[in-house]
Amino acid sequence: MMKTGVLVLLAIVCAAPCDGRSAGGWVKPTHGEPWPKPQSIVNHGGYVVVRPSVFTFQILNETCDILEEAVNRYYDVISKTLTRSGSTSVHRHKYWKKDLMFQAYLDTLDIELMAPCEDLPYLHMDEHYELRINSPDVPNSGLLTSQTIWGILRGLETFAQLLTIDEDGVVLKVNSTSIMDFPRYSHRGLLLDTSRHFYPVPAILLLLDGMEANKLNVFHWHIVDDNSFPYQSEVFPELSEKGAYNPRNQIYTREDMRQVIEYARIRGIRVLVEFDTPGHTESWGLGIPELLTPCYSGTKPDGTYGPIDPINENTYTILEKLFKEVVDLFPEQYIHLGGDEVSFECWESNPDIEVYMNEHNITSDFKKLEQIYIQRIVNTISKLNGSSVVWQEVFDNGVQLPKETVVHIWTGDMETELKGHNAILSTCWYLDHLKSGGDWTEFYVCNPDDFSGSEEQHRLVLGGEACMWSEFVDPTNLSTRVWPRACAAAEVLWSNHDDLNVTEAERRLEEHVCRMNMRSPVHQQMEGVPLIFSQNHDYQILFKDENSNENPI
């Protein structure tokens, strides 16, 4: 896999906020408490010491490429955890031997995958795991078990988050702990809009790293929109040649998309791609003008175009070929078909559409016209052995959807929308809605289950997504806009709602943001907390190409 540039934190970072050795910020971080909060965590008292120079992961049972990649990845995470100290020596002081709370060295974490690996993450995959560190049944040892590779991935992330740096910055400590964990919801997503602003592949991979650290498992790739068409199609190359901001360097080639899919796959993240129609398609018309509806002023075309033309049979021929290519490229079972915010003004002005609607006895009922279009597109995806996700307007307008179709709710009342189809929620997790001073708490108090309705309706909720629309966001501020606000949504979607408390979460989130910054991304500061990279601490943030041996400049 191609190496990419990443943000590298050099010299001393996070010193005061992470280890609490000075006055620090207004919020005192926890030490070795995971995010999102596990379903059950028991501390047995005492701790074990991890010496990175001798520590190993030992695979006891099944293995596969996903597990082997993960082990290598988390070796690197553990190594970076000590980078701040500038030393990986385990031979200084060894003061912990005199500490009554010290119980053993943890030189190995046994990994027991109970069943063969699955190749691809999917909706309703089993992410349950159990992690025991020096517990009564696993004394002086560590054991991670799961029936699935997806559970092993989540458990490895939790293990990495349990590690804390000792007082001398020489070794890592882990509390004697037993954890039993699984997600509250199966769909825990993050949407990125790559049409309004283009994001190079390294920026997307960095976002996926953050998703892994927060146990988010769906990357919703809103890949095209009115503004640009960066998806490079082999069947219709003119779409990106004319519709991308720059057809040479602001497109996603098939190699690019495969790289994102693979990078996500080995982290247990599904890639849900969205092609939003019939609205939000102005960029499509630059490459294939006949796809869009000609708008009229009086009896003559006015030179502008509206949504996709729903009465042109060639529209459906083109879209079926395009979606066949998309379904073949993206292994995810679901494709997001959009269907939101369709303006009817252009359709209303077009005399051919007026004739069509009169012939089909739907005169002036443009919701019915939209329903005819969406119905055919949904049926096309079913014909290609795929399943659909649609924005809620499609359901609201009465389209007869296959039972497996998922409705994506972004506005209005949950109870009204939950009628026979599974749903995901984004109403309260729009990351483009920014308030000064930090607003993660507003994302944290959102509860997808907080609506009146029948027990059956509550069971229809699959989870939710935080949405990063990109009108005012680009690669320079993506990480700071997404994190840690999306961390709040991630914990709500994973953890037991009855265990969530803003005051308690604030200290864990302070530690978690620092932990994420140490791994590589730079994130927005929490409300009321001074900059983690404060003037009292030596730091430098540089962009480094991992392929280069030269010092970053």
Structure tokens at 238: 């003119």
Dist CA 502 CA 309 (whole Å): 49
Helix (H, G, I), strand (E, B) or coil at 478: helix
Task: Tell me which of 68, 290, 341, 546 is the catalytic residue.
Answer: 341
Helix (H, G, I), strand (E, B) or coil at 350: coil
Q: How many CA atoms lie within 13 A of 41 on its CB side?
A: 19
Structure tokens at 331: 């292994």
Give the residues across from 131 on adjacent strands: 144, 179
Among residues 335, 334, 215, 220, the alpha carbon closest in space to that of 267 is found at 215
Dist CA 124 CA 372 (whole Å): 31
The answer to whether 126 touches 148, Cβ cutoff 8 Å, is yes
- Crossing angle for the helix pair 502-519 and 485-494, to the nearest 10 degrees: 120
Dist CA 333 CA 272 (whole Å): 8
The answer to whether 532 touches 29, Cβ cutoff 8 Å, is no
Structure tokens at 351: 């005399």
Among residues 446, 478, 481, the alpha carbon closest in space to that of 461 is found at 446
Structure tokens at 50: 């991890």
Dist CA 63 CA 155 (whole Å): 15
The answer to whether 186 touches 126, Cβ cutoff 8 Å, is no
The backbone region for 146, taken as left when phi is positive above 0, alpha when psi lies in -120 to 50, beta otherwise, is: beta
Pairing mode, if any, of strands 6-10 and 540-544? antiparallel
| 221 backbone dihedrals φ, ψ, rounded to 5° | -95, 95
Sign of the CA dihedral running 297, 299, 305, 311: positive
DSSP tally for the chain: helices H, then strands E: 18, 20
Q: What is the CA radius of gyration of the chain?
A: 25
CA trace torsion 305, 306, 310, 314 (10° rounding): 30
Dist CA 389 CA 196 (whole Å): 21
Told to judge if 341 belongs to the known catalytic residues of this protein, a careful annotator would answer yes
Dist CA 347 CA 366 (whole Å): 8
List active site positions: 341
